[in-house]
Amino acid sequence: MTAQGRHFLQIPGPSPVPDRVLRAMDMPVIDHRSAQFAELGKAVLEGCQKIFKTAGPVMIFPSSGTGAWEAAIVNTLSPGDKVLMVETGHFATLWQQMAARWGIEVDFIPGDWRHGVDPAAIEAKLAQDTKRAIKAVMVVHNETSTGVTSRVADVRAAIDRTGHPALLLVDTISSLGSVDYRHDEWKVDVTVAGSQKGFMLPPGLGFNAVSEKARAAAKTNKMPRSYWDWEEMLKPNAAGFFPYTPATNLLYGLREAIAMLLEEGLDQVFARHKRLAAATRAAVTHWGLEVLCLDPSEYSPVLTAVLMPPGHDADKFRKIVLDNYNMSLGSGLSKVAGKVFRIGHLGECNELTLMGALSGVEMGLAAAGVPHRAGGVDAAMASLEERPTTNSPGHLKVVKT
């Protein structure tokens, strides 16, 4: 195996950490009860509000995204509560299993792992629930196992049409900082996020952005909790502190990552992800392979899951790509294991990173003997030329003659 050059980490999280973020974290650990720490604490807590698009509090736990899932559940729900969830894929299934372990009764709307949340299905379920037994609607924004992004704004509108008081809990672990998301405008009650995907940080931070309604629910719900208790976290947070030792150096990285996202501009960040995703799909389609996501309005800007032709194993293919080209592609998870591979194009990723990744995929297809039409990389380049970068001056645009 040749390992010269930089490893291409093209999995949909953890995503590559920019050098700027790595350098920002290369700092001595400081006293987390000091005035110096409080400045850092306040900076990241306020900065997060801009990324989540909320005027309310955002909490940062030293945890993986799974921990932040748990925090959302134990602070808002009670054993025996009914909730509505949708089987969009592997991550929705894991969150559902977690809720069940906490004694929550989940109405899990089945899915085919190729579509996102159907707002009409949510609307119908809530409309039928005349006794208002459903306490929360819990959905995954970007289903990382399938490359399908659900339309959270439409889900919100569907809930509003029924006048149902259920809370809306959204997993944005792989979308926040990469896909348009608006906690306040979409009246989301709890937004769950993590550090290692769109935030471009190493794994280790979990986030909860919470509404007034969610905080009110936390005052009366009956789930035992301690480490994850929101009010215990919010009290010291008001002064920039944490109730226990925070992940200090990850917070240095977070401050830098927030600065990078805001310097580029969130709208430009979202446009870049869409552009890279469109180029990836152009390559996949040209190769004659199939994108797992079936609804163009739900294509993920973060990753593309690709179906292998029958008789070809996705994991064998991924191993050939890793061994030959030093690139990691995402595996198929649970139901689609061996059947799909996933190309991550999120966070620290630009046109040339993507072209390198797609070249590796195309060479890998040839090396693995997977039937395909050569030239997908050219198709991706053509797609990028058609959709000019929003952050380059117009006069630099390539004009085809």
Question: Segment contacting ligand PLP (CB under 6 A): 96-104, 166-174, 179-187, 292-300?
Answer: 166-174
Residue nearest to ligand PLP (CB): 65
Nearer to ligand PLP by Cβ, of 92 and 384: the residue is 92
Q: How many whole angstroms separate alpha carbon 252 and alpha carbon 234?
A: 20
Beta-bridged to residue 330, according to DSSP, are: 342
Six token digits for residue 314: 């996705």
Whether the CB-CB separation of 335 and 317 falls below 8 Å is answered with no
Residue closest to 257 by CA, chosen among 182, 346, 145: 346
The two structure tokens encoding residue 345: 């194009």
Is position 23 annotated in a ligand binding site? no
Residue 123 as a binder of ligand PLP (CB under 6 A): the answer is no
Stretch that binds ligand PLP, among 15-23, 60-68, 161-169, 227-235 (CB under 6 A): 60-68
Which stretch, 28-36, 62-70, 79-87, 244-252, contacts ligand PLP (CB under 6 A)?
62-70
96 binds ligand PLP (CB under 6 A): no
Question: Looking at beta carbons only, is 70 or 362 nearer to ligand PLP?
Answer: 70
Residue 332 identity (one-letter amino acid): G
The nearest distance, CB 238 to ligand PLP, in angstroms, is: 27
- Does 146 bind ligand PLP (CB under 6 A)? Our answer is no
Q: Where are the beta strands (DSSP E) in 298-358?
A: 303-307, 327-329, 340-344
Q: How far is the CB of 305 from ligand PLP (least distance, A)?
A: 12
Determine, following the binding rule CB under 6 A, whether residue 65 of this chain makes contact with ligand PLP. Answer: yes
Q: Does 140 bind ligand PLP (CB under 6 A)?
A: yes
Q: Is residue 10 a contact residue for ligand PLP (CB under 6 A)?
A: no
Considering only residues 101 to 120 of the shown chain, the ones binding ligand PLP according to CB under 6 A are: none
Residue pair 193/68 in contact by the 8 Å Cβ criterion: yes
Question: What single-letter DSSP state applies at residue 198?
Answer: T
* 13 binds ligand PLP, rule: CB under 6 A: yes
Which of 13/376 has CB closer to ligand PLP? Answer: 13
Q: What tokens appear for 366 in the block?
A: 């040839």
Residue 253 makes contact with ligand PLP by CB under 6 A: no
Which member of 144, 149, 150, 221 binds ligand PLP (CB under 6 A)? Answer: 144
Tell me the H-state helices in 205-265: 212-220, 230-237, 248-264
Instruction: Determine which residue in the list 41, 47, 177, 194 makes contact with ligand PLP, applying CB under 6 A.
Output: 194
Which residues are CB-neighbours of 153 under 8 A, at least 6 positions away? 182, 185, 186
Peptide bond preceding 301: is omega within 30 degrees of 0, i.e. cis? no
Cβ atoms < 10 Å from Cβ of 110? 7
Closest distance of CB 194 from ligand PLP, Å: 4
| Pairing mode of beta strands 148-149, 303-307 | unpaired
Taking the least distance from each CB to ligand PLP, the nearer of 104 and 192 is: 192
Of 173, 260, 284, 349, which one interacts with ligand PLP (CB under 6 A)? 173
CA angle 12, 330, 272 (to 5 degrees): 35
Dig out the tokens for 145 from the structure: 């196992």
- Binding site residues for substrate, as ranges? 342
| Site residues, ligand PLP (CB under 6 A) | 13, 64-66, 91, 140, 144, 171, 173-174, 194, 203
